[in-house]
Amino acid sequence: MKFVTYNIQYGLGQDNRTDLERIAEAVADADVIALQEVERFWQRSGLVDQPAELARLLPEHHWVFGPNLDMDASFRDDDGRLVNRRRQFGTMLLSRSPILSSRNFPLPKLGLAESHSIQQGILEGVIDTPRGPLRIYSTHLSHLAPETRLPQVRAILDLHGRAPDEGGAWCGSHPDPQSGWTEGEMPPMPRHAILMGDLNFETGSEEYDLLTGPLTARYGRLKPLGGFVDAWTEAGHPEGSGRSVADRIARIDHCLVSTDLAGTVQRAWIDERAVGSDHFPLWVEMDL
């Protein structure tokens, strides 16, 4: 299976042109797509409902959208009727196989007087794979500093650790089976997980160490059983290599897989030909 994560910068490309078609073309070959900086009804992107437009451009993929910024953008039409509309900004997941369930979680936010601090979140989707159900996460962490990201990383680790024991979107029986609460099969909540997104940190950072384990001089990186490993390094690349942003040599977009999936990673690459955003798509192929 092919996985890709792409911060699309609301479709604003390196040529300063907004074009969602080239975003869709860049990721269309993937089985699972994690997108960040997707928005709805912002003037800067032409008041487009971008999740709906991307879904139209990728018709063979199921999709969910997780808004993290959500503000009023309602107006009255020419006849004076109220049109309710939300100006939103968040993350998206698309999958060739059905997204069995989805949850969206806000991440810790630091209130600041001057620096621009936005609400960020992590979108979860549970999909079916040949290996069985799999949790997929699309997230975008703070760009400001380690001090704003570390609480977010800890929240992600807490979510990752507790999710299997919480059960699916609904679980358990109901005293009245005819009530409709248990319609369909109980959604699974598997232990296997993949975390993708613009994490805004490089390898060697405290945030990276917290997610993938500490680096030791004698034993290398101590990979935690309950944490993640970097798919980039599992595919054979040096840890500090790779470039996922156009304006500097840095890999701040990541695909991290739960430790038990490390052996399924086949290869990883970054598509530096893509010009539809200030980031490049990061691809990972896994034997699932």
Q: How many helices (H) and strands (E) does the chain have?
A: 5, 16
Per-residue model confidence (pLDDT) at position 130 = 87
CB 109 within 8 Å of CB 117: yes
Q: For the whole prediction, is pTM greater than 0.85?
A: yes
The two structure tokens encoding residue 237: 């690349």
Beta strand pairing status for 215-216 and 220-221?
antiparallel
In 3-state terms, what secondary structure has residue 227? coil
In angstroms, rounded to a whole number, what is the distance separating the alpha carbons of residues 13 and 227? 34
Q: What angle (nearest 5°) sits at the alpha carbon of residue 258, between those of residues 257 and 260?
A: 115
- Rounded distance, CA 253 to CA 163, Å? 23
285 and 266 Cβ atoms separated by less than 8 Å = yes
Q: Do residues 284 and 3 touch, judged by C-beta distance below 8 A?
A: yes
Within its chain, how far is the Cα of 257 from the centroid? 13
- CA–CA distance, 59 with 185 (Å, rounded to integer): 25
Sign of CA dihedral 184, 190, 194, 198: positive
Domains (range + CATH), the chain: 2-72+85-170+185-286 (3.60.10.10)
| Cα distance between residue 214 and residue 193, in whole Å | 20
Task: Say what the pLDDT of residue 173 is.
Answer: 87
Please tell me the predicted confidence (pLDDT) of residue 226.
Answer: 86
Question: Which pLDDT does position 279 carry in this prediction?
Answer: 98
Main-chain dihedrals φ then ψ at residue 130, nearest 5 degrees? -60, -25
Distance CA 193, CA 159 (A): 11
pLDDT in tens, the chain (288 residues): 999 999 999 999 999 999 999 999 999 999 999 999 999 999 999 999 999 999 999 999 999 999 999 999 999 999 999 999 999 999 999 999 999 999 999 999 999 999 999 999 999 999 999 889 999 999 999 999 999 999 999 999 999 999 999 999 899 888 888 888 888 889 999 999 999 999 999 999 999 999 999 999 999 999 988 889 999 999 999 999 999 999 989 999 999 999 999 999 999 999 999 999 999 999 999 999
Kindly state the helix (H) or strand (E) to which residue 254 belongs, with its residue range: strand 253-258
Instruction: Quote the crossing angle between the two packed helices 50-57 and 20-27, to the nearest 10°.
Output: 50
Dihedral through CA 42, CA 47, CA 52, CA 56, nearest 10?
-130
pLDDT for the residue numbered 81? 97
Query: Which residue type sits at 278?
Result: D
Measured distance CA(62)–CA(94) in Å, rounded: 5
Residues 6+ apart with CB under 8 A from 123: 64, 65, 66, 90, 91, 92, 93, 102, 103, 104, 105, 137, 138, 139
Distance, in Å, from the CA atom of 105 to the CA atom of 93, rounded to the nearest integer, reads: 14
